[in-house]
Structure 1
Amino acid sequence: MTQSETRRIPGTPCWVSLMVHGLAATQEFYGALFGWEFSPGPQQFGPYVRALLDGQEVAGIGQLPPDRHLPIAWTTYLATDDADASAETIRHCGGTVGVGPLDAGEAGRMAIASDPSGAVFGVWQGGAHIGAALAGAPGTPAWNELVTRETSSVAKFYQALFGYDVEPVISADFDQVTLHLEGRPVASLHGAGNALPRDKGSHWMTYFEVADVDESALRVSELGGLVLKQPREDASGQAATVADPEGAVFTLVRSNH
């Protein structure tokens, strides 16, 4: 496969990763929930594993240094052809670059940033590793959504960064837009208004595909996690919002395919 065949269109969510305090316990939780197996990833920032399904990479989990007290959260990475240029644009457009740009071994070059609303995300310039290799199956990231107070100003930031076409979801009830690249929806922004959790603020949410939302939500509880929003029907299918034992929030979804 040539690099051009595998290249992700800049702005496409291409990877999700999680930094935790207890790597072994976290692997156990997600292994039991999603059937993930694990293999070592680049170690230059400390212990790090890649989650595999059927031998294909779907997500990453790393261990925080004991003295780092960061919020435990899944981070969405957006593909870029040039992490340094993206970091420059992020700064120029009112975002903040917190980590990098730096090389992750042979795998690629990355930066972690926050948008003007404070939501943390990554940019990933693929080298040997271009991102998740499997999509659609249970246990894979299915969708990424920015949950923020209102979408209009933050949509302009992401448009300036990656040239998305922004399409409002027409509804009197809620403020939602979909980000499109080359005519295809790749992510969404949801304006939660005053319902935005104060303790979390603006954040990117990872949706993981499951075969049965009720069963998976129950499994989260059994494994020591929390169900934050009970299974419900929404536009994308059936969904439930949950947290792992360290508090990382994510959504279980059974998509309407």
Structure 2
Amino acid sequence: MAVQPEGAPCWADAMFSDIEGAKTFYGDVLGWTFGESSPEYGNYTLAYADGKAVAAVVPPMPGQEGPSAWCLYLASGDTAATAARIRENGGDILMEPMPVADFGTMCLAREPSGAVFGVWQAGTREGFEAMGTPGAYAWAEVFTREPGKADTFFAAVFGYGQKQMEDEAVDFRLYDLGDRALLGRMTMTDDFPPEVPSYINVYFTVPDCDDAVAKATKLGATLRFGPMGTPFGRFAALTDPQGANFSVIDVTTTEGEMPKTTDVS
């Protein structure tokens, strides 16, 4: 795939203390196969769907042990410049821009409402080799308790336009570049336990949502929401056995009319 435009989701990875357990789980639920681990890069291991790189798993470095979580990376043409904008707009840099051989340059950041994300400047590795196909990345949403902070930050750093969904039941916004919707932003309600911080929820494509949920729960995942039919596809939210939140979506099974939105850029 071509290099993604500035601010577009381009990669996802997660840190797991039990790498073999993660490979077994996601291999069964999403149909992933895995490449050889790379000892020179902390045993970073690529995940493949239909032979195309779609994500990666990695064990924690000594002293970095913590809850497992998926990290979404946003594309940048200049990681150092993006890091500067992140700081200027109230975000924190958790890992300074760092070259990864000739693959590219990465950094890790936290936006002002608390969600952690990555930034990737492509070198020889552009990012996702597939999107929207079974096993591959489909979509992501910023779940936040402080939507105003997130909205202001992402617009300033990445130049997103914004459209508010006209729905009194939820506070949901789309971040876009031109005609392309890139991310959703959902305000967290009291349904989320207070100890759950803001985070970015990553959706992976599956051919059958209910089947994926059945496989996941059989392997020890917790079903948090759904399965539910929507105009975008049938989806469900899960927490894997090691605590990482993610969603699965069957984009071929849609239900209902597309919601109306209002431009609030």
Mark yes or no: TM-score above 0.5: yes
Residue 122 (structure 1) aligned with residue 121 (structure 2) = no
Task: Give the direction of change, closer, same or farther, for the CA distance of 1:200–1:119 in structure 2 (3 Å limit).
Answer: same
The answer on whether the counterparts of 2:17 and 2:65 sit within 8 Å (CA) in structure 1 is: no
1: CA distance, partners of 2:133 / 2:187: 28
Which ranges of structure 1 fall in alignment gaps of 5 or more residues? none
User: By how many angstroms is 1:235 displaced?
Assistant: 4.2
Two-structure CA RMSD over aligned residues (Å): 1.7
Residue 104 (structure 1) aligned with residue 132 (structure 2) = no
Moved more, 238-247 or 220-229: 220-229
Deviation string 1:82-121 (CA, Å, 9 cap, x unpaired) is 1111111111111111012101121110001100011000
1: CA distance, partners of 2:162 / 2:215: 36
2: CA distance, partners of 1:92 / 1:150: 18
Residue 34 (structure 1) aligned with residue 30 (structure 2) = yes
1:11 pairs with one of 7, 24, 33: 7
Residue 188 (structure 1) aligned with residue 184 (structure 2) = yes
Residue 93 (structure 1) aligned with residue 82 (structure 2) = no
Deviation string 1:42-75 (CA, Å, 9 cap, x unpaired) is 5444111111112211001111025323221000
SS of the residue corresponding to residue 227 of structure 2 reads strand
User: By how many angstroms is 1:224 displaced?
Assistant: 2.3
1: CA distance, partners of 2:39 / 2:166: 45
Residue 144 (structure 1) aligned with residue 140 (structure 2) = yes
Deviation string 1:189-216 (CA, Å, 9 cap, x unpaired) is 1112333432221100001111111111
1: CA distance, partners of 2:208 / 2:244: 21
The aligned residue for residue 44 of structure 2 is 48
2: CA distance, partners of 1:225 / 1:195: 19
Number of residue pairs the alignment of both structures matches: 253
Moved more, 156-165 or 221-230: 221-230
2: CA distance, partners of 1:230 / 1:165: 29
The aligned residue for residue 218 of structure 1 is 214
Q: What's the TM-score, normalizing by structure 1?
A: 0.93
User: By how many angstroms is 1:236 displaced?
Assistant: 2.4
| Identical counterparts, % of pairs | 32
Residue 253 (structure 1) aligned with residue 258 (structure 2) = no
1:199 pairs with one of 189, 195, 200: 195
The aligned residue for residue 75 of structure 1 is 71
The answer on whether the counterparts of 1:150 and 1:175 sit within 8 Å (CA) in structure 2 is: no
Which ranges of structure 2 fall in alignment gaps of 5 or more residues? 255-265
User: By how many angstroms is 1:152 displaced?
Assistant: 2.6
